[in-house]
Amino acid sequence: MSKPIYILNGPNLNRLGTREPEIYGRTTLTEVEASCREAASGRPIVFRQSNREYEIVEWVHEAIDEGGGIIINPAAFTFTSMAIMDALKMFSGPIIELHISNIHKREPIYHRSYVSPVATAVIAGLGTNGYSVAVRAMSDMIGGPPAGA
């Protein structure tokens, strides 16, 4: 059985669909999860969201032991969390940093990511569709057939 793709979401992403829809759209996190599972074509997915930095660090630690790849939308922690960066540095598989908006087109405070230097790839500005793109790309990166195939 193939190792799961961990999809980790940071603070305020539980509010997708209602939070600043002009920036983040109207798709909910539940809908994002469903699109990720569909894009995974049966490959196991661990999909989580937290507003707590320590919880995301713990999930990265779990992925170190059990995951094939990490897709992470650290949200605001992108620009503040050395703890998440340090945890990700310990992961030996591919990491995709994901942002719904194009962070480089936003205010300067959003331009310095602590995650980018340790990420294999960065996806930004595709809206919530970026998640499906990331899942397909991660599946290609980690190879092998999806579970049950």
- Find the catalytic residue in 99, 110, 111, 131: 99
CA distance linking residue 43 with residue 16, whole number of Å: 25
Cβ partners under 8 Å of residue 102, min gap 6: 124, 125
DSSP state of 27: -
Q: Which residues pair with 7 in a beta bridge?
A: 47, 71
What is the distance between the alpha carbons of residues 33 and 43, in angstroms, rounded to a whole number? 13
Q: Is 54 a catalytic residue?
A: no
CA 20 – CA 135 distance, rounded (Å)? 25
Angle between helices 129-142 and 29-39 (to 10 degrees): 30
Give yes or no: 111 in active site. no
- List the structure tokens of 34: 């469903």
Q: Catalytic residue numbers?
A: 24, 99
